[in-house]
Structure 1
Amino acid sequence: MKKLEEENLKLKNEIEELKNKISIEIERNRRNDKMLFQQSRMASMGEMIGNIAHQWRQPLMELSSITMELQAKLEIFGKISNQEILEAINKSNDITKYMSQTIDDFRNFFAKDKKRVQFKITEQISSAINIINSSLKQHNIKLEIIVMKNSFITGFKNEYSQVIINILSNAKDELVNRDIKEPKITLRIAEKDNNSVVEIEDNAGGVGIEPIQKIFEPFYTKNKVNGTGVGLFMSKLIIENNMNGRLFVKNGEKGAKFIIVVPKSLDN
């Protein structure tokens, strides 16, 4: 009897020790996930600053050309008509409104989502494209958008935009690094089996690793200049953990194809 009690006590102590180890590992994993998320956030902020520079460069040049034109007319003709001044003011106002909208887009992108909301797929994709479009244009990358079905989904909309930007940025980097002639990204929006399906495909030649899903592992940065290796990892976490969806990749005819599958909102 005494031996049985000793065995029970020993087993109880081992169970408690195992519980403590599990708790420690859970806490360690939680801290690691938090660190990865923060690193992804900082990397995104760095990319966003670069995108702001691209986004503002053209309108700043347009503002400069407007003032230079007015200055040239004053120096050559000695006067400017009221009509010309009004036209210059109107053009300048349009440009500054565009730049102000850019600030709102970036601020909304970094705003922390408080709760899940219902949103239309194209709205967040448009927001993402507004942020990265200037960078694509700088590298002469054509972006083709095909909308077959525009669904409502429920989730954290800013995080969804972040996923779109991460995938587009990854495609842009591959197209630039591989010096692809006539670079192109095709974005398709559709529905299948009561899910929203977004496909993002490039013509950069595809993912050359096996197994291909390894690209979603944290800190995987093969052949990517200045990459942190957390963008695609965090994108998969956002879609699969926060939105009950799936994110996977496969090689298409000319390049990589990322597929985002998220359940449609039940009331639509």
Structure 2
Amino acid sequence: MNKSDFIKTILVLINKDDDSQLSLITDNLEDYFFNVEVIKVFTTKEAFKILNSTEVDLIIYSVNENNIEYLIKNELTKIPLLLVSTNTFFEEIENKVFKLPPFDFLTKPIKEKLLVSKINNYFKIYDSVKLKTKIIDENIIYSEIDLNGIIKYVSQPLVNISGFTKNELITQEYFENVLDISIDEQKKIWESIQNSKTWMGILKKRKKNDEHYIAKTTITPLYENGILLGYYSHEQDVTSEISDKARMQEILDAQYSLIIILDNKVIIESNKTLFYHFGYKNIDDFKSKHKCICDLFIQENESSIMPKMGDKYWVDYVMQNNNLTNKAYLRDKNENIRIYDVHYRGKISNNQYIIVFTDITQLEEKSEILSKQSRLAAMGEMISMIAHQWRQPLTAISGLTTKQNLKKRMNQETAEDWQEFVNKHKDLVNYMSKTIDDFRYFFKEQQLQSLTIENIINKTYKLTTPLFEKHNVEYKINYKSDGLKDVSILTASSKLDQVFINLYKNALDEFISNKKQNPKIWVNCEIKDEKIVFEICDNAGGIPEDILSKIFDPYFSTKSDNGTGLGLYMSKTIIEEHLKGSLEAINKNAGACFTLKLPII
């Protein structure tokens, strides 16, 4: 039968011969405890019959030489005992009763208030224990096993998740019949808990329907009064979490990009790309050899991401420059250098970040080919400019030579004439030599250097002046603030020159193609949002709106057979990838305007 937790049941076993006092006192218990039900019995046999049909909270047992053996033989478990007898008898049976469940003694003659006090203490203790047991049995996946690994107790949530009944689980061997793990794994857990250590981990467990669930499990030694009685296990069902994580890992592993998850800047997860390309078995193998993926970074050029970027850690640098191309060079297991574009892709939690390494090795190789093609195209333009700039001095040299030769034939050559002839030749040759130096400097690979705005603009203007003069192009520079000429930026001069000259040459081609009258090119300079902004504009009619979004694509050209389609593509690549800036185009004031932004030193 079931009873309300509110009612306490006390079973009183009375000795017929000498316990009239106990019988009288227990009759009065209901005056002290309004929620107590007292059941009196007069034989041990009657007591066990009651115990088989009724939930009992406390047993008051009048013990003597006639019933003590029966009591010990039919050991009462998990029910508190209050033994009543004489002092002399307790001294005789002390060695026998210490093995019984938690108990207390009450000697005769019985004091009513002392009995009530002891009962009250029991109720307080066992109310707490019973509440704890109820919470466990209703809410926690819990079990207890003995020293041999046999299950002795299971909670209702364990029954619910496994599909087994309590009777089907109790007396089963925990490790062999409940856990679905290898014998070696069983031994490791068993050795750990036998050494009085708590074991924690993820376990695969059997269900009755031959399916499984995944449990985050803690197995702890169970002590009572310093004696090891067995072990208890409490679990958290993480089947859904593990399944979701496994599905997420499958998605990550399907990606060609290298994806890592950092926790406080320490790598905790990765997809298989890291292991496949760089020769590691798994994330633990990687972590045993490296503290950081940045250990694999190599310094290929000045734009390579390294563990420290100035005063910033590489992750912080990437997060702050996420809109730029952040190149990392890593050597793979075959000693090949792989190039990655590194970007921050969000947070999982406050301290966990997702970083994606996109392999751009092949793109960089193609870009290098395009760059060489673009340089060759630019070289053709430069040779055309050299030819134009040399035409005038060569004509002058030819005229001076003819004139000097005629004087010599007519015997009119003087020493002064000859010296003047030599000096003019020298000036013209120096001019031509300086032109070669200017253009040779244009094609020379350079490290980043500090240049003023005025130096950048004047240098590219000087290289293109002959073409501007030939086609009567009006050129103007607008500095929008005082002192702007002297502001410096860190740049690769030859690369930046290539961009400016390409933009100037495109405008010039449009002037010629459209037979533009009063052609103009102007450059506006200003500082905005901590960047130097160049706006290079013309009045050549602008770019058709239907192709404006395509002009930076490789091999896209509107010049039919005369264009390579690489100039603007390489210009954007140089500005955005090499110089960490931006290049955009719009139509404005009956022409095209290219806005170039570069970081200030």
> TM-score, with normalisation over the residues of structure 1?
0.84
Matches within 5 A, 1:5-154: 16=253, 18-19=255-256, 26-75=360-409, 77-113=410-446, 115-148=447-480, 149-150=484-485, 151-154=487-490
Shift of residue 159, structure 1, vs aligned partner: 0.7
| Separation (CA, whole Å) in 1 of partners of 2:457 and 2:255 | 46
Matches within 5 A, 1:101-250: 101-113=434-446, 115-148=447-480, 149-150=484-485, 151-210=487-546, 212-223=548-559, 225-250=561-586
C-alpha change, 1:122 and 1:225, in structure 2 (3 Å) is: farther
The more displaced of 157-166 and 200-209 is: 200-209
SS in 2 for 1:19: coil
Tell me if the contact between 1:146 and 1:189 (Cα under 8 Å) persists in the aligned partners. yes
SS in 2 for 1:93: helix
Instruction: Pick the structure with more helix per residue.
Output: 1
SS in 2 for 1:180: coil
User: For 1:246-267, what per-residue CA distance to the aligned partner results, in whole angstroms no more than 9, with x for missing partners?
Assistant: 22222221311222221222xx
| Separation (CA, whole Å) in 2 of partners of 1:109 and 1:46 | 13
SS in 1 for 2:562: coil
| Separation (CA, whole Å) in 1 of partners of 2:574 and 2:453 | 15
| Separation (CA, whole Å) in 2 of partners of 1:235 and 1:244 | 12
Instruction: Pick the structure with more strand per residue.
Output: 2
SS in 2 for 1:208: coil
| Separation (CA, whole Å) in 1 of partners of 2:525 and 2:503 | 15
C-alpha change, 1:83 and 1:145, in structure 2 (3 Å) is: farther
SS in 2 for 1:168: helix
Shift of residue 134, structure 1, vs aligned partner: 2.0
| Separation (CA, whole Å) in 2 of partners of 1:31 and 1:3 | 50
Aligned positions, number: 262
SS in 1 for 2:525: strand
Tell me if the contact between 1:246 and 1:261 (Cα under 8 Å) persists in the aligned partners. yes
Tell me if the contact between 1:144 and 1:185 (Cα under 8 Å) persists in the aligned partners. yes
Shift of residue 138, structure 1, vs aligned partner: 2.9
Higher relative contact order (CA 8 A, sep 6+): 1
The more displaced of 11-20 and 198-207 is: 11-20
Amino acid at match of 1:178: N
| Separation (CA, whole Å) in 1 of partners of 2:514 and 2:394 | 31
| Separation (CA, whole Å) in 2 of partners of 1:100 and 1:91 | 14
SS in 2 for 1:140: coil
The more displaced of 26-35 and 229-238 is: 26-35
User: For 1:88-120, what per-residue CA distance to the aligned partner results, in whole angstroms no more than 9, with x for missing partners?
Assistant: 22221111111111111111111112x221111
| Separation (CA, whole Å) in 2 of partners of 1:125 and 1:202 | 16
| Separation (CA, whole Å) in 2 of partners of 1:26 and 1:190 | 34
| Separation (CA, whole Å) in 1 of partners of 2:585 and 2:249 | 47
Tell me if the contact between 1:187 and 1:198 (Cα under 8 Å) persists in the aligned partners. yes
Shift of residue 207, structure 1, vs aligned partner: 1.1
Shift of residue 221, structure 1, vs aligned partner: 0.4
User: For 1:36-82, what per-residue CA distance to the aligned partner results, in whole angstroms no more than 9, with x for missing partners?
Assistant: 2222122112212212211211111111121122233344x521232
C-alpha change, 1:260 and 1:12, in structure 2 (3 Å) is: closer
The more displaced of 170-179 and 133-142 is: 133-142
Amino acid at match of 2:425: S
| Separation (CA, whole Å) in 1 of partners of 2:561 and 2:212 | 64
Shift of residue 217, structure 1, vs aligned partner: 1.9
| Separation (CA, whole Å) in 2 of partners of 1:224 and 1:185 | 24
SS in 2 for 1:220: coil
Amino acid at match of 1:118: S
C-alpha change, 1:12 and 1:136, in structure 2 (3 Å) is: same
Shift of residue 10, structure 1, vs aligned partner: 9.7
| Separation (CA, whole Å) in 1 of partners of 2:464 and 2:491 | 22
The more displaced of 51-60 and 21-30 is: 21-30
Larger Rg: 2
Tell me if the contact between 1:143 and 1:186 (Cα under 8 Å) persists in the aligned partners. yes
> TM-score, with normalisation over the residues of structure 2?
0.40
